């Protein structure tokens, strides 16, 4: 069985980032046309674009600030003009910041995580879901994190933003399900990627806590995203799916 995304149009925010690159490549390899979103790093987005050209579908780069409604709407107009109405959105971008204890974390970091996790997902839905409704088919896939189930020290701003987006997306799944649009979340562990090697600081201690006793890769996340984007996952919606080797296990 092969995942086929031919004739599907996908928008990946943070498409030039650590996980984003693998997601872009994998969806392109499955046959999707791709809009690679970037904020500041056009050079990295251009590199990813060149890497997927051999797959033969239609591709474009698009710049936007995902924390700004007007910017996301402008991105949507560019995607629609360049490729058509999106079938799949993968909300992957997030603001990076320095983690600190609650008593020391700057309030602006909490606001930044709210904007890049909660409002990012709201603005993407408001821009792209109406086109999915017209098609009576769509996939909203958001990248969450295992951290929301761990609540370790220094994670508070990140966890608060990701927990907030979880609430938005679960409600969205109920609101738009009748249009045959699924809404799901992928929650990575600490994954190995191009710039985050397996030997990174703390890697040994982390792996000891993973039931599989290893770190996963960015490709593991991309594979799950591709599955959720496909017709194979047509009856899965409202799910929070960890891809963490068993580090976190949602209970019933």
Query: How does residue 45 score in pLDDT terms, banded at 50, 70 and 90?
Result: very high
Asked whether the beta carbons of 97 and 149 are under 8 A apart, the reply is: no
Query: Cα torsion for 80, 83, 84, 88, to the nearest 10°?
Result: -100
Query: How does residue 197 score in pLDDT terms, banded at 50, 70 and 90?
Result: confident
Answer yes or no: is pLDDT of 241 > 90.
yes
Counting beta carbons within 10 angstroms of the beta carbon of residue 179, is it exposed (0 to 12), middle (13 to 18) or buried (19 or more)?
middle
What is the C-alpha radius of gyration for the chain, rounded to an integer number of angstroms? 17
Going from N- to C-terminal start, the domains of the chain cover 9-243
Residues of the chain with pLDDT > 90, as a percent, come to 94
Active-site positions read 158
69 DSSP β-pair partners:
none
Average pLDDT, the chain: 96
Q: Which fold has domain 9-243?
A: Rossmann fold (3.40.50)
Answer yes or no: is pLDDT of 1 > 80.
no
| Element of type H or E holding 182 | strand 181-188
Answer yes or no: is pLDDT of 217 > 90.
yes
Mean pLDDT of all residues in 203-212: 94
Mean pLDDT of all residues in 5-13: 98
Asked whether the beta carbons of 62 and 34 are under 8 A apart, the reply is: no
Query: How does residue 116 score in pLDDT terms, banded at 50, 70 and 90?
Result: very high
């Amino acid at each position: 069985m092969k995942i086929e995304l031919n004739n599907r149009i996908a928008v990946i925010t943070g498409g030039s980032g650590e996980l984003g690159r693998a997601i872009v490549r994998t969806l392109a390899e499955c046959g999707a046309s791709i809009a690679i979103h970037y904020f500041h790093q056009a050079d990295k987005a251009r590199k990813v674009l060149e890497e997927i050209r051999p797959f033969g579908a239609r591709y474009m780069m698009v710049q936007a600030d995902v924390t700004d409604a007007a910017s996301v709407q402008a991105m949507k107009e560019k995607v629609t003009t360049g490729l058509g109405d999106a079938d799949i959105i993968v909300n992957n971008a997030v603001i990076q910041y320095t983690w600190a204890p609650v008593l020391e974390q700057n309030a602006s970091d909490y606001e930044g995580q709210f904007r890049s996790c909660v409002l990012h997902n709201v603005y993407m839905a408001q821009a792209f879901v109406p086109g999915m409704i017209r098609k009576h088919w769509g996939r909203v896939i958001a990248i969450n994190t295992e951290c929301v189930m761990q609540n370790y020290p220094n994670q508070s701003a990140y966890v608060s933003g990701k927990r907030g987006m979880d609430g938005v997306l679960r409600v969205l799944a109920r609101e738009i399900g009748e249009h045959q649009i699924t809404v799901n979340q992928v929650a990575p562990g600490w994954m190995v990627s191009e710039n985050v090697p397996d030997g990174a600081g703390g890697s040994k201690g982390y792996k000891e806590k993973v039931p599989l006793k290893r770190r996963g890769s960015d490709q593991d996340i991309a594979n799950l995203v591709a599955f959720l984007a496909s017709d194979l996952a047509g009856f899965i919606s409202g799910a929070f799916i960890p891809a963490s080797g068993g580090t976190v296990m949602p209970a019933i």
